[in-house]
Structure formats: C-alpha cells, structure tokens
Amino acid sequence: MLEAILDKKTCADCRFCCVFDATDIWEMPLVDATTHEAALAARPGVAFAPDGDDWRFAVPIPAGGALVNCPALTPHGCALGPDRPFECRLWPFRALMREERPVLALSPGCRAVAALPPGAVAAHARAIAPQVAAYVAAHPRMLHPWRDEYRWLCDL
C-alpha cells in the first residue's frame, strides 16, 4: 500500500516496524483469517491470541529495553509476503480513534515517510482512506486509541 510513495527496497531493508519493545508492543498487527492461514503454513507452531473475530501474534511482553521480533520475521524479511497483515501493509499509517471518530494518522517512527513532502503524504492518506475504512468496518479491533505522538491526516 506504500508503493505509491515509497520504493519496496526501502521497506525491505529497514524492518523497524517488525521489531517491538515495551513501548510499541501494542502495534503487533491484527491477524485476519487469510493471514492466519498463511502464518500457520509459513511458520508452523506460531502462537496466536484471539482478538475479537481475529487474532494477534502471541509474544512475550518485552521488559525494559528488550526487543522482540514479530514471529513472522525471517532474515529475509516477512515470511508472509503479500498475505502479511493489513496493518503491516498500511504502516506507518494507522487507524486510530480520535475524539470518538476513526481517523487515519501517521506514526512518527518511520523515517522514510517522515522525509517525504507532507502534501504527498496527506494526499496518499486521502487516497487510501476508503480502503482503510472498509477494512476497519470488517475488523474493528484494528482501531486503537488516539496517541498524541501520531499526526492526524484525515478522517475515515
């Protein structure tokens, strides 16, 4: 979903969004049925925790400054390819609830997108908003509470 504004190699070389610490473990992606099936095939034995009608990868909460990899991360990147979670294809954009309204916001964690012209980022957000809104309607557990470090881009 980022291909319109970022080349694939930039993402493939980074993997920042596939490694978590105690402050951002909440960003572990929601896993829908398609991704669940793909993950079980690619990473047999991977554990899931139910979340509404979907799942999340079950990982230990890292203590202190420790890091934990997403169970789907391999030395060659994500094992799930095109079946990776919707939230992973969307990140650093994220659906959040702001003042009781679902919005599309930008994480401060992605340096590559932060370096793009703000107007191009905002235009991309408006272009993908209908697709995100449709996914959120089907997978409401994808919505997270508002976080002040995120930048509002558009309503959903």
Interface contacts to ligand SF4, rule CB under 6 A: 18, 29, 70, 72-73, 78, 80, 84-85, 88
At residue 90, what is the residue type? Answer: L
- Output the smallest distance, CB 49 to ligand SF4, in A: 15
In 3-117, which ranges are continuous DSSP H helix? 8-14, 33-42, 86-90, 111-114
- The nearer residue to ligand SF4, 34 or 98, going by C-beta atoms, is 34
CA–CA gap between residue 111 and residue 23 (Å, rounded) = 18
- Output the smallest distance, CB 36 to ligand SF4, in A: 11
- The nearer residue to ligand SF4, 108 or 118, going by C-beta atoms, is 108
CB-count burial class (<10 Å; 0-12, 13-18, 19+) for 30: buried
Respond yes or no on whether the N-terminal peptide bond of residue 71 is cis (omega within 30° of 0): no
Q: What does each C-alpha distance from 98 to 9, 58, 102, 152 come to in angstroms?
A: 32, 27, 6, 9
- The nearer residue to ligand SF4, 79 or 125, going by C-beta atoms, is 79
Beta bridge partners of 90: none
- Output the smallest distance, CB 79 to ligand SF4, in A: 7
- The nearer residue to ligand SF4, 26 or 101, going by C-beta atoms, is 26
Give the pairing type, strands 30-31 and 54-57. Answer: antiparallel
- Output the smallest distance, CB 64 to ligand SF4, in A: 21
- Output the smallest distance, CB 56 to ligand SF4, in A: 10
- The nearer residue to ligand SF4, 39 or 106, going by C-beta atoms, is 39
